[in-house]
Amino acid sequence: MSTQPITPVSKSVNRRFFLKSGALAGGGLLLGLHVYGKNLNGLELDDASVFEPNAYIRIDAVGKVTIMAPNPEVGQGVKTSLPMLVAEELDVAWDTVNIEQAPLDINKYKRQLAGGSGSTPTSWESFRKAGATARQMLIAAAAAKWSVAPGDCYTENGFVVHRSSGKRIAYGEVASVAATMQPPTDVVLKDPKDYKIIGKRIKNVDNLNIVTGKAKYGLDTRREGMLFAVVARPPAFGQKLVSFDDAGALKIPGVKKVVRVENKVAVLAETTWAAKKGRDALVLQWEAEGKLESTPDHQAEFSANILKTTEKPVRADGNVEDSFKLADHVLEAVFEAPFLPHAPLEPMNFFAHVTADKAELFGPNQAPERALNELSRVLELPKEKITLGLSDRMGGGFGRRLMADTPLEAALISKAAALPVLVVYTREDDMQAGHYRPAGMYRYRAAIGKDGNLDAWHLTVSSINQPNGSRENSFPAGAVPNFRIDSINLESKITIGPWRAPNHNFLAFTEESFLDEIAYDLKKDPIAFRMELLDRSSSNSYGKRIYDPERYRAVIKKVAEMSNWSEQGKNGRYKGFGAHFSFSTYAAQVAEISVSNGKIKVHKVWCAIDCGRVINPLGAEQQIEGGIIDGLGHALYGELTFDKGTAQQKNFNTYKLIRIQDAPDIETAFINTEQFPQGLGEPGLPPIGAAVSNAIFAATGRRMRKQPFAMQPLI
């Protein structure tokens, strides 16, 4: 964090600024976010040369513009794309701007969260307003200095220009005057046709730091007096610690301390290696509490559950029972989802320094406000006594870092040891102590009416620790007159959590594979069949519908054109289609594959996407490419199984992730880009499993009913 000073002004001005800003932000962006005379760390300052109109912008006297990036950066690109919004409206040249990761500050910022693909839609308005507010104050300052009307001034790349005289002044030169200006009661945002930054292909702001090894991740945190901690956690879900002997651990040179925290034992040492050796030298006695679960146990329970009907279905339109009775014929398919670990490449870690009356936490977390709440509760410290800094970058998250367990664990270890500590998970720890994508089973039944139409759709899902394992408004909901979803929870000691596009990540594969089966049964082209269903949804929606059938149709039409869909089987290559609506974004994909000696090769993937306006096309394409490769890799290879509560895959030698030779070429097209912008961290992922499974069917006649595909015989 920089500690640039800012302008002090009188208390009365402070107060007015506070109120007015709050009003103009209309929803909290600027509300209570800033007190003149304090910098971002809350320190009193006396330099009068810096303009810091809100929590996003700092302009110093030499004109250096710093834009804060408050949202956690896990690789989804918000550290680049969101400051673009501020810079656009502030009207500064992008390559002159400095970007800084902000720490958690619940008073200054509204939603410091990397989840639900939500940063873009929730920041779109407020971040632009922050830039526009500052720009108008700079105009007012220059106008006052020149004694001209503000209306006769405009801005241009970091300068205020007086239209009549052509006089120009740099932002830095009026920064101190701007700091005394009243914020505007209303700000005018740019017409999109005037955008100079939004919509441009802007590179990752940390590229240079990344390629030179200077970028700092959580594991790179170093503090005076800090020790590294490696932790012994229960080797199986459902075990508790009975006793431990740390004599061997304490003999390892470099090991300084061993502390027990709840059901865990932490070894603190001068180096990570000594801490790990110390942890491995602990003699630990564990005891099972009740039955330890294995994957076949879950599968047996799922299999029984999916035959049940619940009293309270998640969704019920029409009457599926009657429809099945009257059906010409019925189709059925059961799909199985394995557990998946998130496996971010930077293993879980967090720094904590907890003393009697305060706590400093620092590291990679996707939901720092949630972590702060948990820390406050567990440490019994008021939130004001806890600082939570975010590492400049995070080595992936995929949902794992939404959980507060790691910062909390670090805090408790630091408190127990009375030392500053960086808790480091080994890869094996990371795999074992996960909050996994839940395993589940999905039974689909479809009734084909006497008229040859899809008349009923019934999904019964059972998954781990999820009362609702579905997304009940997902297509084809709205397109089928009789539609029902039952969901049956299977309680488990295995912890689950949101995994990139929760539920969607597997549901899309099941829905779109089953629709493909129905299309083939009806002897219809799979894409034409979807279009027909969307027509039905459009003309006569059955029950609640959260997607727009026209936008859905548009991405399907686009991807069919891009991929030359009707050309099937040429040169031994086969195409499969999948589409999905998630996080307010429409994604349609076609995968082209070949199968040789039982091995699947995905050559190319086309993706048409409607996420509304694209803020940074370079970053947006990257998210789609990453989502497709992530989804493809897990559909081909991802599977975590349990034996007596212990994850059987412990590292990348047994848990296979996709590698470079399996990555297909990807072509992405964005359409409908005048619409409100949505986030892209997740929506690119869900359709690919179905696109590939349907291509496998086209190539081999075999239906993939479970993932991972690559582990199943194809010939």
Q: Which residues bind other proteins (CB under 8 A)?
A: 73-77, 203-204, 206-208, 210-217, 219-220, 222, 228, 252-254, 270-274, 277, 343-347, 393-398, 424, 426-428, 618-619, 622-623, 625-630, 633, 651-653, 657-661, 663-666
Q: What distances in angstroms separate CA 110 from CA 30, 123, 373, 401, 629, one per listed residue? A: 9, 9, 15, 19, 32
Contact 680, 120 (CB under 8 A): yes
Q: What are phi and psi of 227, to 5 degrees?
A: -115, 155
Separation of alpha carbons 705 and 25, rounded Å: 50
Work out how close the CB of 424 gets to other proteins at its nearest, in angstroms, rounded to a whole number: 8
Say if residues 475 and 549 touch (Cβ distance below 8 Å). no
- Find the shortest distance in angstroms from Cβ 280 to other proteins: 12
CB of 686 to other proteins, least distance (A): 14
Closest distance to other proteins from the beta carbon of 168 (Å): 32
Amino acid at 616: N
Q: Which two tokens stand for residue 467?
A: 């009362």
Q: Which is nearer to other proteins, 519 or 559 (CB)?
A: 559
- Alpha helix stretches (DSSP H) within 591-686: 617-637
Q: Which C-beta is closer to other proteins: that of 230 or that of 359? A: 230
Q: Which residues contact 377 (CB under 8 A, 6 or more apart)?
A: none
Structure tokens at 283: 């003699």
Contact 233, 264 (CB under 8 A): yes
Comparing CB distances to other proteins, the nearer of 220 and 336 is 220
Q: How far is the CB of 346 from other proteins (least distance, A)?
A: 5
Measuring CA to CA, which residue among 467, 451, 411, 401 is closest to residue 217?
Answer: 401
Give least dist CB 201 to other proteins, A: 8
Nearer to other proteins, 204 or 482 (CB): 204
Residue 367 beta carbon to other proteins: minimum distance, rounded to whole angstroms: 17
Q: Are 389 and 361 in contact (CB under 8 A)?
A: yes
C-alpha to C-alpha distance for 365 and 367, rounded to whole angstroms: 6
Closest CB to other proteins among 207 and 309? 207
Compute the least distance from the CB of residue 414 to other proteins, in Å: 18
| Contact between residue 184 and residue 133 where contact means Cβ atoms under 8 Å apart | yes
Please state, as a whole number, how many other Cβ atoms lie within 10 Å of the Cβ of residue 188. Answer: 10
Question: Is the CB of 213 or the CB of 467 nearer to other proteins?
Answer: 213
Two tokens at 310?
């619940």
In the complex, the smallest distance separating the C-beta of residue 658 from other proteins, rounded to whole angstroms, is 7
Cα separation, 40 vs 680, whole angstroms = 30
Q: How far is CA 313 from CA 459, 466, 494, in A?
A: 10, 14, 25
Element (H, E) at 329: strand 329-337
Distance in Å, CB of 213 to other proteins, minimum: 2
Which CB atom, from 321 or from 428, has the smaller least distance to other proteins?
428
Which alpha helices (H) appear in 46-118, and where do they start and end?
78-90
Minimum CB distance to other proteins smaller for 394 or for 519: 394
- Which tokens is 174 given? 């009026």
Which is nearer to other proteins, 293 or 346 (by Cβ)?
A: 346
Bridging pattern class, strands 585-596 and 599-610: antiparallel
- What is the full DSSP assignment across 492-503? -SS-B---SSTT
Q: Compute the distance between CA of residue 487 and CA of residue 278 in angstroms, rounded to an integer.
A: 45
Tell me the closest approach of the beta carbon of residue 379 to other proteins, in angstroms.
27
Among 442, 428, 434, smallest CA distance to 494 is for: 434
- Least distance to other proteins, CB of residue 652, Å: 4
Q: How far is the CB of 212 from other proteins (least distance, A)?
A: 5
Comparison of 323 and 563: residue with beta carbon closer to other proteins? 563
* Closest to other proteins by CB, 619 or 687: 619
Given the complex with other proteins, which of 214 and 377 has the nearer CB atom? 214
Give whichever of 306 and 419 is closer to other proteins, judged by the CB atom. Answer: 419
Cα angle 37, 38, 42 (rounded to 5 degrees) comes to: 160
CB of 554 vs other proteins, minimal distance in Å: 25
Residue nearer to other proteins on the CB measure, 76 or 133: 76
Closest CA to 519 of 532, 506, 509: 532
| Nearer Cβ to other proteins (350/514) | 350
Q: Are 361 and 464 in contact (CB under 8 A)?
A: no
Complete DSSP assignment for 472-541: TTSTTTTT-SEEEEEEEEE--SS-B---SSTTHHHHHHHHHHHHHHHHHHTT--HHHHHHHHHHHHHHS-
Q: Which is nearer to other proteins, 257 or 471 (CB)?
A: 257
User: In this complex, which beta carbon is closest to other proteins, that of residue 207 or of residue 285?
Assistant: 207
What CA–CA distance (Å, rounded) separates 81 from 653?
Answer: 36
Question: CA-to-CA distance for 141 and 162, rounded, in angstroms?
Answer: 12
Q: Which residue has the tokens 């109120």?
A: 19
Q: In the chain, what is the straight-line distance between the N-terminal and C-terminal CA atoms, in Å?
A: 58
- In whole angstroms, give the CA distance from residue 496 to residue 587: 26
Instruction: Walk across the sheet containing 65-69 and list its strands.
Output: 51-54, 57-59, 65-69, 97-101
How far apart (Å, rounded) are the C-alpha atoms in residues 203 and 201?
7
Residue 131 CB, nearest distance to other proteins (Å)? 24
Interstrand relation of 239-245 and 440-448 (parallel, antiparallel or unpaired): unpaired
For the bound state, the minimum distance from the C-beta of residue 6 to other proteins, rounded and expressed in Å, comes to 31
Q: Provide the minimum distance between the beta carbon of 662 and other proteins in the complex, in angstroms, as a whole number.
A: 8
What is the C-alpha to C-alpha distance for residues 500 and 627, in angstroms, rounded to an integer?
Answer: 9
Q: Closest distance between other proteins and the C-beta of residue 399, in Å?
A: 12
Backbone torsions φ then ψ of 570, nearest 5 degrees: -75, 135
- Of the pair 13, 663, the CB lying nearest other proteins is at 663
